[in-house]
Amino acid sequence: MASVLVVEDDQFVRSALIRHLTEAAHTVRSVGTALEALREVAHFRFDVVILDLGLPDLDGSEALKMLRGITDVPVIIATARDDESEIVRLLNDGADDYLTKPFSVEHLSARMAAVLRRSRASAGEAPPPRVIQVGGLSIDPLRRQAELDGAPLDLTRREFDLLTFLAGRPGVVVPRKELLAEVWQLSYGDDQTIDVHLSWLRRKLGETAARPRYLHTLRGVGVKLEPPGGSRSGHQQGHQR
Protein backbone atom coordinates (compact mmCIF):
# COMPACT_ATOMS: atom_id res chain seq x y z
CA MET A 1 0.00 0.00 0.00
CA ALA A 2 1.25 3.50 -0.83
CA SER A 3 0.20 7.07 -0.19
CA VAL A 4 -0.49 8.63 -3.60
CA LEU A 5 -1.15 12.21 -4.72
CA VAL A 6 -3.03 12.47 -8.03
CA VAL A 7 -2.59 15.85 -9.78
CA GLU A 8 -5.12 15.86 -12.64
CA ASP A 9 -7.60 18.53 -13.75
CA ASP A 10 -9.77 16.25 -15.94
CA GLN A 11 -12.50 15.14 -13.55
CA PHE A 12 -13.26 11.94 -15.49
CA VAL A 13 -9.61 10.80 -15.56
CA ARG A 14 -9.13 11.91 -11.97
CA SER A 15 -12.12 9.90 -10.73
CA ALA A 16 -10.97 6.81 -12.63
CA LEU A 17 -7.47 7.03 -11.14
CA ILE A 18 -8.81 7.53 -7.63
CA ARG A 19 -11.14 4.55 -8.00
CA HIS A 20 -8.44 2.26 -9.37
CA LEU A 21 -5.82 3.25 -6.79
CA THR A 22 -8.26 2.97 -3.91
CA GLU A 23 -9.35 -0.49 -5.09
CA ALA A 24 -5.66 -1.45 -5.09
CA ALA A 25 -5.53 -0.51 -1.36
CA HIS A 26 -3.59 2.73 -1.83
CA THR A 27 -4.34 5.88 0.15
CA VAL A 28 -5.21 8.62 -2.34
CA ARG A 29 -5.45 12.40 -2.21
CA SER A 30 -6.19 14.37 -5.37
CA VAL A 31 -6.00 17.96 -6.62
CA GLY A 32 -6.65 19.69 -9.92
CA THR A 33 -4.02 22.45 -9.97
CA ALA A 34 -0.27 22.82 -9.55
CA LEU A 35 -0.56 25.23 -6.60
CA GLU A 36 -2.81 22.79 -4.76
CA ALA A 37 -0.24 20.05 -5.44
CA LEU A 38 2.54 22.17 -3.94
CA ARG A 39 0.45 22.80 -0.83
CA GLU A 40 -0.28 19.08 -0.50
CA VAL A 41 3.35 17.95 -0.64
CA ALA A 42 4.31 20.71 1.78
CA HIS A 43 1.85 19.42 4.39
CA PHE A 44 1.59 15.66 3.76
CA ARG A 45 4.05 12.85 3.12
CA PHE A 46 3.45 10.87 -0.08
CA ASP A 47 5.12 7.78 -1.52
CA VAL A 48 4.47 8.80 -5.14
CA VAL A 49 2.91 11.67 -7.12
CA ILE A 50 1.09 11.12 -10.43
CA LEU A 51 1.38 14.45 -12.27
CA ASP A 52 -0.54 15.58 -15.35
CA LEU A 53 1.18 18.23 -17.50
CA GLY A 54 -1.89 20.06 -18.82
CA LEU A 55 -2.88 21.87 -15.62
CA PRO A 56 -5.03 25.04 -15.71
CA ASP A 57 -2.83 27.29 -13.56
CA LEU A 58 0.71 26.19 -14.38
CA ASP A 59 2.26 23.85 -16.92
CA GLY A 60 3.12 20.51 -15.34
CA SER A 61 6.78 20.78 -16.36
CA GLU A 62 7.08 23.96 -14.27
CA ALA A 63 5.12 22.30 -11.49
CA LEU A 64 7.64 19.43 -11.56
CA LYS A 65 10.56 21.83 -11.06
CA MET A 66 8.77 23.49 -8.15
CA LEU A 67 7.96 20.11 -6.60
CA ARG A 68 11.60 19.11 -6.89
CA GLY A 69 12.50 22.25 -4.97
CA ILE A 70 10.67 21.04 -1.87
CA THR A 71 10.46 17.23 -1.98
CA ASP A 72 12.23 14.06 -3.14
CA VAL A 73 8.96 12.13 -3.59
CA PRO A 74 8.96 9.97 -6.77
CA VAL A 75 6.96 11.62 -9.58
CA ILE A 76 5.31 9.78 -12.48
CA ILE A 77 4.30 12.06 -15.35
CA ALA A 78 0.94 11.15 -16.91
CA THR A 79 0.10 13.11 -20.04
CA ALA A 80 -1.10 12.98 -23.64
CA ARG A 81 2.16 14.54 -24.88
CA ASP A 82 4.55 12.10 -26.51
CA ASP A 83 7.39 14.28 -27.82
CA GLU A 84 10.68 12.45 -27.13
CA SER A 85 12.71 15.59 -26.46
CA GLU A 86 10.18 16.72 -23.86
CA ILE A 87 10.22 13.30 -22.20
CA VAL A 88 14.02 13.49 -21.91
CA ARG A 89 13.81 17.01 -20.51
CA LEU A 90 11.23 16.00 -17.91
CA LEU A 91 13.31 13.03 -16.79
CA ASN A 92 16.35 15.32 -16.52
CA ASP A 93 14.25 17.76 -14.48
CA GLY A 94 13.53 15.09 -11.90
CA ALA A 95 10.62 12.95 -13.12
CA ASP A 96 11.02 9.28 -12.16
CA ASP A 97 8.87 7.82 -14.93
CA TYR A 98 6.55 8.82 -17.79
CA LEU A 99 3.22 7.47 -19.01
CA THR A 100 1.51 8.57 -22.22
CA LYS A 101 -2.30 8.75 -22.23
CA PRO A 102 -4.33 6.70 -22.77
CA PHE A 103 -2.83 4.00 -20.57
CA SER A 104 -4.30 1.00 -18.83
CA VAL A 105 -4.63 0.72 -15.07
CA GLU A 106 -2.40 -2.36 -15.26
CA HIS A 107 0.32 -0.31 -16.95
CA LEU A 108 0.05 2.38 -14.28
CA SER A 109 0.18 -0.22 -11.50
CA ALA A 110 3.32 -1.79 -12.97
CA ARG A 111 5.07 1.57 -13.32
CA MET A 112 4.11 2.59 -9.77
CA ALA A 113 5.36 -0.71 -8.36
CA ALA A 114 8.71 -0.29 -10.17
CA VAL A 115 9.16 3.30 -8.97
CA LEU A 116 8.26 2.38 -5.40
CA ARG A 117 10.66 -0.60 -5.43
CA ARG A 118 13.51 1.64 -6.57
CA SER A 119 12.64 4.33 -4.04
CA ARG A 120 12.36 1.94 -1.09
CA ALA A 121 15.45 -0.05 -2.07
CA SER A 122 17.47 3.15 -2.33
CA ALA A 123 16.25 4.31 1.07
CA GLY A 124 16.98 0.93 2.62
CA GLU A 125 20.44 0.41 1.18
CA ALA A 126 21.95 3.84 1.75
CA PRO A 127 24.36 3.97 4.72
CA PRO A 128 23.55 6.54 7.38
CA PRO A 129 25.28 9.75 6.24
CA ARG A 130 27.58 11.50 8.66
CA VAL A 131 26.88 14.95 10.00
CA ILE A 132 29.04 17.39 8.07
CA GLN A 133 30.64 20.23 10.01
CA VAL A 134 32.39 23.09 8.20
CA GLY A 135 33.11 26.06 10.43
CA GLY A 136 29.78 27.22 11.83
CA LEU A 137 27.86 25.12 9.31
CA SER A 138 26.34 21.84 10.48
CA ILE A 139 24.60 19.64 7.89
CA ASP A 140 22.69 16.44 8.61
CA PRO A 141 22.09 14.70 5.23
CA LEU A 142 19.91 11.99 6.79
CA ARG A 143 17.45 14.42 8.34
CA ARG A 144 18.02 17.01 5.59
CA GLN A 145 18.63 19.71 8.18
CA ALA A 146 21.25 22.44 8.17
CA GLU A 147 22.28 25.00 10.76
CA LEU A 148 24.54 28.04 10.70
CA ASP A 149 26.02 29.00 14.07
CA GLY A 150 23.28 26.98 15.76
CA ALA A 151 20.40 28.62 13.87
CA PRO A 152 18.32 26.44 11.47
CA LEU A 153 18.58 27.26 7.77
CA ASP A 154 15.35 27.23 5.73
CA LEU A 155 16.60 25.70 2.48
CA THR A 156 14.83 24.37 -0.58
CA ARG A 157 15.63 20.83 -1.71
CA ARG A 158 18.08 22.03 -4.37
CA GLU A 159 19.74 24.55 -2.07
CA PHE A 160 20.26 21.82 0.52
CA ASP A 161 21.68 19.41 -2.08
CA LEU A 162 24.05 22.07 -3.41
CA LEU A 163 25.24 23.07 0.06
CA THR A 164 25.72 19.44 1.12
CA PHE A 165 27.65 18.53 -2.02
CA LEU A 166 30.05 21.47 -1.61
CA ALA A 167 30.38 21.01 2.15
CA GLY A 168 31.40 17.39 1.59
CA ARG A 169 34.44 18.72 -0.31
CA PRO A 170 35.56 21.73 1.79
CA GLY A 171 38.21 23.85 0.15
CA VAL A 172 37.94 21.95 -3.15
CA VAL A 173 37.03 23.93 -6.28
CA VAL A 174 34.15 22.04 -7.93
CA PRO A 175 33.70 22.68 -11.68
CA ARG A 176 30.26 23.88 -12.74
CA LYS A 177 29.89 20.89 -15.05
CA GLU A 178 30.32 18.59 -12.04
CA LEU A 179 27.72 20.55 -10.07
CA LEU A 180 25.23 20.17 -12.91
CA ALA A 181 25.91 16.43 -13.10
CA GLU A 182 25.88 15.67 -9.37
CA VAL A 183 23.35 18.14 -7.96
CA TRP A 184 21.01 18.63 -10.92
CA GLN A 185 21.66 15.24 -12.62
CA LEU A 186 22.17 17.04 -15.95
CA SER A 187 24.87 16.31 -18.51
CA TYR A 188 24.68 19.91 -19.71
CA GLY A 189 22.78 23.05 -18.81
CA ASP A 190 22.78 26.80 -18.26
CA ASP A 191 25.30 28.17 -15.74
CA GLN A 192 22.64 30.72 -14.76
CA THR A 193 20.82 27.93 -12.90
CA ILE A 194 23.85 27.49 -10.65
CA ASP A 195 24.32 31.25 -10.22
CA VAL A 196 20.71 31.76 -9.16
CA HIS A 197 20.84 28.98 -6.56
CA LEU A 198 24.21 30.22 -5.27
CA SER A 199 22.73 33.70 -4.90
CA TRP A 200 19.77 32.35 -2.89
CA LEU A 201 22.09 30.23 -0.78
CA ARG A 202 24.44 33.13 -0.09
CA ARG A 203 21.53 35.25 1.09
CA LYS A 204 20.53 32.58 3.60
CA LEU A 205 24.14 32.24 4.77
CA GLY A 206 24.29 36.00 5.36
CA GLU A 207 26.88 36.75 2.68
CA THR A 208 27.19 38.15 -0.85
CA ALA A 209 29.32 37.35 -3.89
CA ALA A 210 31.30 40.53 -3.19
CA ARG A 211 31.77 39.61 0.48
CA PRO A 212 31.82 35.79 0.65
CA ARG A 213 32.18 33.90 3.91
CA TYR A 214 31.64 30.28 2.89
CA LEU A 215 30.86 30.22 -0.85
CA HIS A 216 33.64 31.33 -3.17
CA THR A 217 33.26 31.51 -6.96
CA LEU A 218 36.36 31.28 -9.14
CA ARG A 219 35.43 32.81 -12.46
CA GLY A 220 35.75 30.34 -15.31
CA VAL A 221 36.75 27.52 -12.94
CA GLY A 222 34.07 26.63 -10.42
CA VAL A 223 32.82 27.00 -6.85
CA LYS A 224 34.28 26.04 -3.47
CA LEU A 225 33.00 26.10 0.09
CA GLU A 226 35.32 26.69 3.00
CA PRO A 227 34.87 28.24 6.44
CA PRO A 228 35.97 31.77 7.23
CA GLY A 229 39.73 31.66 7.61
CA GLY A 230 40.04 28.65 5.31
CA SER A 231 40.50 26.03 8.04
CA ARG A 232 39.29 22.63 6.96
CA SER A 233 40.00 20.62 10.09
CA GLY A 234 37.26 18.45 11.54
CA HIS A 235 34.87 18.91 8.64
CA GLN A 236 33.10 15.62 9.32
CA GLN A 237 32.01 14.22 12.63
CA GLY A 238 32.58 10.51 13.10
CA HIS A 239 29.38 9.80 15.00
CA GLN A 240 26.14 8.79 13.37
CA ARG A 241 22.94 10.70 13.88
pLDDT score recorded for residue 231 = 45
Instruction: Tell me the pLDDT tens digit for each residue of 156-167.
Output: 888 999 999 999
pLDDT score recorded for residue 82 = 75
Domains in the chain and their CATH numbers? 3-125 (3.40.50.2300), 130-240 (1.10.10.10)
pLDDT score recorded for residue 129 = 55
pLDDT score recorded for residue 125 = 47
Instruction: Identify the three-state secondary structure at position 169.
Output: coil
| Closest by Cα among 45, 36, 44, 97 to 66 | 36
In angstroms, the first-to-last Cα distance of the chain is: 29
Q: Which residues of the chain have pLDDT under 70?
A: 120-129, 187-190, 230-241
CA dist 141 and 132 (Å) reads 8
pLDDT score recorded for residue 60 = 78
Residue 18 amino acid letter: I
pLDDT score recorded for residue 190 = 64
